[in-house]
Amino acid sequence: MRTFALFLSLLFSLIAHSSPHTDNDLPLIKSPSPLPQIAAEPVLEINVLLGDKVDVGNTDDGHRYIVPITGGSFQGNDIRGHVVPGGADWQVDRPDKVKNIEALYTIKTHDGTTIIIHNKGIVHHLTGSRYAFTRPVFHAPKGQYDWLNTSFFVGTIQSRHNPRSVVISVYEVR
C-alpha cells in the first residue's frame, strides 16, 4: 500500500509543481466548478496462487507466457472468499523491457456469489525499482456486490515465491 500511496503523492506533487503553460501550449479548459480531487482507498486484497508458466515463445509483439491461476483467497471491506481455479494471466515481455499483463479469473464470495475479474497492467524495473500497477475491472451480479461494477479501481502487485503467488492490493479511486 505504501508504494501506491507514494506513487499518488509523487504524481500529485508533479501536477502541483508543474510549470505554468505558455501561449504555445494548448489552453486549459476553464471549468466553472473546482476540479475533483483524486483519492484512493484500499478495498480488497487478493492472494492469487499461480501454476507453472507456459512459454508460448516470441510473437509479433514480444515474448508471451501464460500463467495459470490455480486458486487463492481474498478479503476486504465486507467481502471475502476464494479465487476459483481455472483463470490465467497472459503476459507479454515487450522489446522495451516492459511486461504487459492481462488476467481473467473468477472469485467466489463467502456467501456463494461469483464475480469475474479482468485485470490489465504493466510491470517493469526501468526506474530502478519494481513498477507494477493494474486496472482491475469487476463483473458482479446485481445486488450486494454491485458497487464493484460502478467504481474505478487500481491495483498493486507483489510477487511471492513460496507458494508461487501474487498479492493484488485493490484501491477504489474516489
**Amino acid 14: pLDDT:** 44
**Which ranges constitute the DSSP H helices of 101-169?**
none
Buried b (16+ CB within 10 A) or exposed e, 60-84: eebebbebbbbbbebeeeebebebb
Our separate counts of H helices and E strands in the chain read 1, 9
Cell numbers for 27, please give them.
489552453
Beta-carbon contacts of 81 under 8 Å, excluding residues fewer than 6 positions away, are: 73, 74, 107, 108, 109, 110
Phi, psi dihedrals of residue 17, rounded to the nearest 5°: -105, 15
Cα(71)–Cα(15) distance, rounded to whole angstroms? Answer: 40
**Amino acid 54: pLDDT:** 98
pLDDT string in tens for the chain (174-residue length): 455 555 555 444 444 444 454 555 656 666 677 777 889 999 999 999 999 999 999 999 999 999 999 999 999 989 999 999 999 999 999 999 999 999 999 999 999 999 999 999 999 999 999 999 999 999 999 999 999 999 999 999 999 999 999 999 999 999
Cell numbers for 44, please give them.
480488497
Answer whether 0.75 is exceeded by the pTM: yes
What domains can be seen in the chain, in order of their start residue?
A: 42-173 (2.40.160.20)
Beta bridge partners of 62: 59
Provide the greatest CA pair distance for the chain: 58
